[in-house]
Chain A
C-alpha cells in the first residue's frame, strides 16, 4: 500500500474513552447480579504451618452463610497460577486449598455469605489448629542445609530441587567467560539488591462468577489472561473447558499482577458449591500481600573491558525468591539474563540464577518481567566502569550497545522455560534514543558543569539504556475475526485483553487502516472466551505486535473479499482497486467508487454473502524495543533526599500506532519506575507479615511527585510488526532506577546498589564517604 496512512500513526481517541471518563458501567464490579453472595478468603496468620484440625461448623451455622470451603471440600489438583501458555513453564506447586499454608496470607478457607460483614464474621468463626513450622523468610537461608522444606508435598511437579527449596535454576553461557575476563584489562564486580514492589493497580483483583441458565460457569473477572484462566479453572475445578465462560470487562490496571489466575478458581468453587453468584474482591491490604509482587533479587555482576572500554565479558549471578509458590519463577528470572546482558555486544556472557522458595508473599509477573532488576545492576555497573576509565558513560554506551543487524545468541539459549530462538535486530533506534534524550537533559553541558556550588543541594545527571521484547518468540500467538455489517462497518473480535493500556484502540486502528475505513466503523469486542477467538493475553509486550499482527492478517483477508465484490460492482480488476475513507475506488483515472455501505448491502441482500474472515498469528522472533533514560537529580546532602528534577525517556517502539497512547504508556511506566527507584517496597516483619500494606505507608509516585518528563518516540520500521510496530509498555520502566543511581553518583560521588534508594541509605553512604576521605587525608598528612 503506497498511500499515506489514515488511521495508523494518528492520535485518535481511545475507543472506550467516553465510557470510562463518564463513569459508564464498564468494570467487573459495575454489575450487580441478583442473589449475589460475597466471598472472602481466610488468610493464614502464619508464614509456615500445617493445619492440624479445621472446624467450620460455627461458621456454617451463622445466618447468611452459604458455604465454607476448606481443603477437605475441593479437588486437589497441582497447578500454577501463572497465566502462561500451556504447558506452563512454572512449577505445579499450588492447590485450590491445602492442608498446609506457606506464607502469611495463604488461603486457609473460603466463605460465601449474604454480605461482606457476614462473610467476615464467618471467617472469625472458623477454628483452626495450626502446627507452626519453622519458616524460611530470608532467601539467602533458603538453600541452607536444614532449612525447612516448603514444598514437601509429593504431588507437586516441575520443581527443580524441592529438598533445597529451589523452584528453578538457570545456567547459560555463550563464548567463554573465563577467557573473556582473562583477556580484559579491567574487571569490576559488584553486588546489587532489589526489593519487593507491588503492582498497586487502582482496581484490585476482583472476580464475579455465576451459573448461566444452561448451568455453565460464567466468570467476569479483572484479568490479563482470560483464555489461560478458562483453561486453568476448568482443570482445577475438574469441569470441561466448554462449561466455563470467562469475560474480561474494562480493567483498572494489571501491570502483570493479573497475568495470574488468582481469584477465578476459588470464586468459581464457591459458585459451584452454592449455585449462587459470588463476588470476591481483594481489599487494598489483601492486594498487597495476597496478590503478587516483583521478585526480590540479589545480583552479582561482573564485567570485563579493554583499556579503551570495549566489553569482552559479562557475568550475572542471581539469587531470587519467588515466595511461597513458583508462579513465573524461572521465566521472570530468565529474562533478567536474556533481555539484559545482550544489550552489550560482549562475545562472552554467562548467566546463572537460583530461584528459591521462601515463606513470603508470592512474586509473579510485573511490568518489566525481571528486567528492572537486571538493568539496575548492569547499567549501574557500566556507569562505574565508564567513570573509572575516565570515559563519558554515553560514549561507553555508543561503543558497546547492540546494533542493527546484530544477533543476540543468549536469547537463543534462554526461552520461555526452554531453549529459545536467536534474536536478530531488524530495527534499532537506540542510537537516536541516546542522542535525543541526552540533548533533552542537557547531558554534554551538565556532565561538565555539575555538580556545582557548595550548598547542601547538589545536582547530577545519569543515564541508562535498556531493551525488552515484543511477545515471546515461538510461544505467544493470537487470533482475530472480522465481519462486515450492513452499514459498511466491521465487527472486530479479538481475544486480546485491553487492561487499560489502550489495546482495543490500537487493534481497531490496525483494522481500520487495513480496511480503508474510519475508526468509527470498527466495533471491537475483546477478551470474551465465548465470543472472541483465542489469544494468550496481555503480557510480554505482545499485544500490539502479535494480536495486532492477527488483526492485520484477518483484515487483509476481509479486504480481499471486499475488493473481490467491488471488482464486480465497479467492473474493474482487483489490482486497480484501493480502499480508504469508507469506500472502494479505482486507482486509474476514471475514479469510480462504491461506498462500503452500498457494498455491504450488495453483499448481504444480493449476493447472500457474509463478508468475514479470521486469522491466527505468531512470530518466531521477539523484536526488542529500545529505550534511553536520562535523569537529572538533586541530592540533599543533609537529609539524603533525592529529588528527580527531570526525566527524559526516549523509546524506539517501532511504529507508534497511536503516539499519544504510546507516550501515555511511557509516562505510566516511568512513574512506576520512579517508585521502584526511590520509594516503593512492601516491607515484611520478622514473622513474614506485611507492615505497610496501605497507601499511607507504601509510597507510590503520585501526580505531585512527578518530575518534569520529556518523552520522545524514536520511530523505526520493524519488519515483523504490523505497520512496523514493536512494543512500548514495559521497556521504559527499566531505566529510572539505574539512571537515578548514576545521577546520584554524579551529584555526590556515592554508589547506591540497593533499591529503593532511601534517603537514609544515601545519607549513610555520604557519611561513610566523608569518613573515608578524612582517613585518607590523615594518611597523607605527615
Chain B
C-alpha cells in the first residue's frame, strides 16, 4: 500500500496545496481524514498532500447561508450548535451515522463528497438542502451545484481542483418544515445499502408546499427523486400519496446487486425508507428528530 509514495506534504493554505497538486502531474493525491484514501491504497500515488492544516476546518454563517470548510470532520459537525439547529439537525444525524467514533474523528465532509461514492452519507442531506460546492483550482474559485459536482466526482474533471467549502443556503423554516435522514446498513458500522433524506414544507392546510427527496447507494451517484417530488407538490400527504411516492422512487432509482444486497432488495428499501422519511417529516411536531 502506497509503496511508491515519495513525499508527504502538509501545506498551510489552499494556494500552496493547489501548487503541490499541480506539480504532482496526476500522481499526487489529496488526503484529508484519510479514511477513504488509505483504504484505497492506490499504488500509483507518488505524493500525498495533507490538507487538514490548510485552513479549511470551519463552520460559519455567511449572509443567508451556512458555510462548512472542506476539512471539517463528522465529529465537528455533530458537535456544532449551528449545524444542530440547521434543518432540524439533519446533517448531524447523517454525520453521526458515518462509521464509528474513531472514523468520525478523522473523516471530513469534503472527503465524503470528493471520494464520490454513491453511498456517501452526507450527500443526500446536502442535496435536500440545495447545497453548492466551492471549488478552487489554478484559475481560481467557482461554485457548482452539489448535484453537478457529485455526478462527476469520480471522473478526473476535478483532478487538479480542491473542494474548499460547502455552502448551504438557509432552507425553508417554520412550523410546517421538517426533515428526515434514514439509513439502512447491515451492522452499526456499515456503508449504506440505501440512505434517504427528505425535507418537507407543508402549508397550514397540510398541502405539500415544498419537498426534497434524495437517495443514496441506488444509482451511480447520490440522486434527487424529481418525479416523486413533482407528484407531491400541492397535494395532501396521506397514505395513498405515500404509497404512490414509494412506488415512484422505486422506479426512479437504478440500484445494482452486489455481495451486500440485491438490486431488488435495494429498490424495495427505497420505497420503505422514503415513506418512513416522509412520515417522519409529517408526523405531529415534537415526536421526531
- Chain A hits for B272, CB < 8 A: 638-639
In the complex the two chains form, is A759's CB within 8 Å of B259's CB?
no
With known contacts A639-B272, A697-B260, A760-B265, A679–B186 Cβ distance under 8 A: yes
Given A697-B259, A704-B100: A641 and B188 interface contact (C-beta under 8 Å): no
Closest chain A residue to B273 by CB distance? A639
User: Does A702 lie within 8 Å of B259, measured CB to CB?
Assistant: no
Residues of A within 8 A of B191 (CB): 696
Assess whether B6 is interfacial by the CB under 8 Å rule: no
Question: Which residue from B100, B186, B264, B269 sits with its C-beta under 8 Å from A699?
Answer: B186
User: Are A760 and B262 neighbours in the complex by a CB distance under 8 Å?
Assistant: yes
Contacts A639-B272, A641-B184 hold; do A763 and B265 have CB atoms under 8 A apart?
yes
| Minimal beta-carbon separation of B267 from chain A (angstroms) | 11
A130 part of interface (Cβ distance < 8 Å): no
A683-715 with Cβ < 8 A to chain B:
683, 691-692, 696-697, 699-702, 704-705
* Nearest chain A CB to B263 CB, angstrom units: 11
> Cβ of A117 < 8 Å from any Cβ of B?
yes
Closest to A116 in B: B3
Q: Which residues of A are found within 8 Å of B188, using beta-carbon distances?
A: 702, 704-705
CB within 8 Å of A: which B16-66 residues:
39
- Tell me, in angstroms, the Cα distance from A640 to B272 when the chains sit together: 11
Interface positions of A from 725 to 782, Cβ below 8 Å from B: 758-760, 763
Query: Which of chain A's residues has its CB closest to B268's CB?
Result: A763
B7 within 8 A of A: no
Contact of A696 with B39 in the complex, beta carbons under 8 Å: yes
Contact, CB under 8 Å: B190 / A691 = no
Question: How long is the Cα–Cα vector from A702 to B103 in the complex, in angstroms?
Answer: 14
Contact A705 B187 (CB under 8 A): yes
In whole angstroms, how far apart are the Cα atoms of A699 and B259 in the complex? Answer: 11
Tell me if B219 counts as interface (CB < 8 A to partner A): no
**Roughly how many angstroms separate A760 CA and B263 CA in the complex, as a whole number?**
11
Q: Complex formed: what's the CA distance from A702 to B188 in Å? A: 8
Within 8 A of B (CB), among A671-685: 679, 683
User: B265 near A683 (CB under 8 angstroms)?
Assistant: no
Verify A759–B100 contact, CB threshold 8 A: no
Contact B187 A699 (CB under 8 A): yes
Q: How far is the CB of A515 from chain B (nearest CB, A)?
A: 45
Contact B187 A702 (CB under 8 A): yes
User: Chain B nearest CB: distance from A83 CB in Å?
Assistant: 31
- The reply to whether A701 and B187 contact each other, CB–CB distance below 8 Å, is yes
Determine if A639 and B184 form an interchain contact, defined as CB atoms under 8 angstroms apart: yes
- B285 part of interface (Cβ distance < 8 Å): no
User: Are A704 and B189 in contact, CB atoms less than 8 angstroms apart?
Assistant: yes
User: In the complex, which residues 64-101 of chain B have their Cβ closer than 8 Å to any Cβ of chain A?
Assistant: 100
Interface centre among B39, B258, B269 (most CB of A within 10 A): B269
Report the bound CA distance from A683 to B100 in whole Å. 25
B262: A residues at CB distance < 8 A: 760
A290 to B3, CA, bound (A): 23
Write the nearest CB–CB distance from B70 to chain A, whole angstroms: 23
Q: Is B261 an interface residue (CB 8 A)?
A: yes
Bound complex: CA A454 to CA B189 (Å):
29
Write out the residue numbers on chain B whose beta carbons fall within 8 Å of the beta carbon of A692: 259-260
Within 8 Å by CB of B190, from A117, A638, A683, A699, lies: A699
Write out the residue numbers on chain A whose beta carbons fall within 8 Å of the beta carbon of B268: 763
A interface SS class: loop
Take A683-B259, A760-B262 as given contacts and tell me if A639 and B269 are in contact as well, using a CB distance cutoff of 8 Å.
yes
Chain A nearest CB: distance from B85 CB in Å? 27
Give the one of A639, A705, A758 with max B CB within 10 A. A639
Query: Are the CB atoms of B259 and A691 closer together than 8 Å?
Result: yes
Chain B nearest Cβ from A66, distance in angstroms: 19
Contacting pair A679 B3 (CB below 8 A): no
The residue in chain B whose Cβ has the minimal distance to the Cβ of A761 is B265
A:107-142 near B, CB below 8 Å: 117, 120
Chain A residues within 8 Å of B259, by CB: 683, 691-692, 697
Q: Is the CB of A679 within 8 A of B187?
A: yes
CB distance from A740 to the nearest CB of B (A): 15
User: Which one of A691, A700, A705, A759 contacts B265 once the chains associate, using CB atoms below 8 Å?
Assistant: A759
The B contact surface, by secondary structure, is: loop
Bound CA–CA A639/B189 (angstroms):
18
Residues of B within 8 A of A700 (CB): 187
Q: How far is the CA of A760 from the CA of B265 in the complex (A)?
A: 6
Smallest distance from the beta carbon of B272 to chain A beta carbons, Å? Answer: 5
In whole angstroms, how far apart are the Cα atoms of A691 and B257 in the complex?
12
Bound CA–CA A527/B11 (angstroms)? 51
0/1 string, B158-170, CB within 8 A of A gives 1 = 0000000000000
Q: How far is the CA of A679 from the CA of B261 in the complex (A)?
A: 11
Which residues from B are CB-within-8-Å of A758? Answer: 261
Interface residues in B178-211 (C-beta closer than 8 Å to A): 184, 186-191
Instruction: Please give, as numbers and ranges, the residues of chain B lying within 8 Å of A640 by CB-CB distance.
Output: 265
Q: Considering only CB atoms, which chain A residue lies closest to B275 in the complex? A: A638
B39: A residues at CB distance < 8 A: 696
Instruction: Give chain B residues whose Cβ lies under 8 Å from the Cβ of A760.
Output: 261-262, 264-265
Task: Give Cα distance in the complex from A692 to B191, angstroms.
Answer: 13
Chain B residues near A697 (CB-CB < 8 A) = 259-260
- Give residues of chain B (138-188) contacting chain A, Cβ–Cβ below 8 Å: 184, 186-188
Choose among B189, B264, B265 the residue that contacts A702 (Cβ–Cβ < 8 A). Answer: B189
Give Cα distance in the complex from A697 to B188, angstroms.
13
Nearest B residue to A764 by beta-carbon distance?
Answer: B265
A151 CA / B259 CA spacing, docked (Å): 30
A692 CA / B261 CA spacing, docked (Å)? 12
- Select from chain A the residue with minimum beta-carbon distance to B193: A759
Contact with B along A457-486 (1 / 0, CB 8 A): 000000000000000000000000000000
* Complexed CA–CA distance, A641 and B189 (Å): 15
State the CA gap A696–B39 with chains docked (Å): 10
Cα-based distance from A547 to B180 in the complex (angstroms) = 58
Specify the chain B residue showing the minimal Cβ separation from A701: B187
Q: Which residues of A contact B261 (CB under 8 A)?
A: 758-760
Chain A min CB distance to B55 (Å): 31
List chain A residues, Cβ under 8 A from B184: 639, 641
Contact flags B264-289 to A (C-beta < 8 A → 1, else 0): 11001100100000000000000000
A667 to B37, CA, bound (A): 34
Contacts of A759 in B (CB 8 A): 186, 261, 265
Q: Which residues of A contact B100 (CB under 8 A)?
A: 702, 704
The CA of A661 and the CA of B272, in the complex, are separated in Å by 44
Return B151 CB to nearest CB of chain A, in Å: 24
Complex CA–CA separation, A186 to B232 (angstroms): 56
In the complex, residue of chain B having the shortest beta-carbon distance to the beta carbon of A636: B272
Please name the residue on chain B nearest to A692 by beta carbon.
B259
Write the nearest CB–CB distance from A664 to chain B, whole angstroms.
21
Q: Let me know if A117 and B3 touch, CB within 8 A.
A: yes
Q: Which residues of B contact A701 (CB under 8 A)?
A: 187
* Chain A residue at minimal CB-CB distance from B4: A117
Q: Determine the distance from Cα of A702 to Cα of B191 in the docked complex, in whole angstroms.
A: 14
Cα–Cα, bound, A6→B45 (Å)? 61
Shortest Cβ gap from A180 to chain B (Å): 42
Say how far B239's CB is from chain A's closest CB, in angstroms. Answer: 14
Question: Whole-angstrom distance from the CB of A697 to the nearest CB of chain B?
Answer: 6
Complex CA gap A758/B269 in Å reads 14
Nearest B residue (CB) for A638:
B272
Chain B residues within CB distance 8 Å of chain A: 3, 39, 100, 184, 186-191, 258-262, 264-265, 268-269, 272
Nearest first, the 8 A-B pairs at minimum CB distance are A704-B188, A760-B265, A117-B3, A692-B259, A683-B259, A638-B272, A691-B259, A699-B187
**Footprint of B on A, CB under 8 Å?**
117, 120, 638-641, 679, 683, 691-692, 696-697, 699-702, 704-705, 758-760, 763
A696-B39, A704-B187, A759-B265 given; name 10 further pairs at CB < 8 Å. A641-B184, A679-B186, A683-B259, A691-B258, A692-B260, A700-B187, A704-B188, A759-B186, A760-B261, A760-B265
Q: Would you list 24 pairs from A and B whose C-beta atoms are within 8 A, ordered by A residue?
A: A117-B3, A120-B3, A638-B272, A639-B269, A691-B259, A692-B259, A692-B260, A696-B39, A697-B259, A697-B260, A699-B187, A699-B190, A702-B188, A702-B189, A704-B100, A704-B187, A758-B261, A759-B186, A759-B261, A759-B265, A760-B262, A760-B264, A760-B265, A763-B268
